Amino acid sequence: MQTDSQRINIYDCDMYMVESADDLTSFSCGNTDLVEFFAQDAYLYDRQLLGKTYYFETKDTHKVIGAFTVANDSIKASLVSRTVRNKLNRQIPNSKRTRSYPAILIGRLGVATNHKGGGIGGQIVDYIKKWFTQHSNKSGCRYVVVDAYNSPDVLAFYEKNEFRYLYSSEEEERATFGMDENEHLNSRMMYFDLIEYTV
């Protein structure tokens, strides 16, 4: 639903980090939770070192066209079931029990309502992938992970951007979180392997 006459790309914009409580108060991306987060919580998350929020602003009109929040995370995989682990805990080296992969979590991502459908969201995801695979990145980061809203358009967006599901089905994800089988799953966890960007 891009209504602006000229297509805008994120590389035509200036990029800023949220440093003031007022930075994103006028940013509208059409989702109540996202609007509330960017307007009220992004700055608090930054102050508490829980997440850093960045945004792209047009150079001439100073309108925010997209914003995202990232935080350090990891994907841990336990290769020994809890029951067996409890019985044999001291006999299995930790490296064989659990694998841990560093990751960057996209905590929030929003595109301005009047720029939706213009490719901004995909460009932001691509920017994050490139950002965390460049040589100057200060720490290892193997995956990009996201807890995506469980709606067809959002899931299709991340699938199109080559993300895969951490759990193969909603049933498997529900079971992991101890949810009833009829309970609605609000989000799906997805990941992208950055090694595909470094080869």
Residue by residue, DSSP assigns 1-34 as: ---SSS---GGGEEEEE--STTTTTT---S-HHH
Report the distance separating Cα 124 and Cα 108, nearest Å: 11
Which region among 48-56, 86-94, 109-117, 150-158 touches other proteins (by CB under 8 A)?
48-56
188 binding other proteins? (CB under 8 A): no
Interacting positions 128-147 with other proteins (CB under 8 A): 129-130, 142, 145, 147
CB of 12 to other proteins, least distance (A): 9
Question: Which residue in the block uniquely carries the two structure tokens 């996209």?
Answer: 106
Q: How far apart are the first and last CA of the chain?
A: 35
Helices (H), 39-169: 42-47, 82-88, 94-97, 120-131, 152-160
Candidate list 3, 7, 19, 137; residue touching other proteins; CB under 8 A: 19
Task: With contacts defined by CB under 8 A, name the span among 50-58, 87-95, 109-117, 151-159 that binds other proteins.
Answer: 50-58
Tell which one of 3, 36, 137, 156 touches other proteins (CB under 8 A): 36
Q: Which residue, among 3, 113, 23, 179, has the nearest Cα to 188 in the 3D structure? A: 179
Task: Assess 170 for contact with other proteins (CB under 8 A).
Answer: no
**Which backbone phi and psi does 145 adopt, to 5 degrees?**
-120, 155
Q: Is 40 in the site for other proteins (CB under 8 A)?
A: yes
Per the rule left: phi > 0, alpha: psi between -120 and 50, beta: everything else, 16 is beta
User: Applying CB under 8 A, does 49 fall inside the site for other proteins?
Assistant: no
Question: How many angstroms separate the CA atoms of 37 and 62, rounded?
Answer: 20
Footprint of other proteins (CB under 8 A) = 9-11, 13-17, 19-20, 23, 33, 36-37, 40-41, 44-45, 50-51, 54, 69, 71, 73-79, 81-82, 98-99, 101, 103, 105, 107-108, 119, 122-123, 125-127, 129-130, 142, 145, 147, 161-162, 166-168, 172, 176-177, 187, 189, 193, 195-199
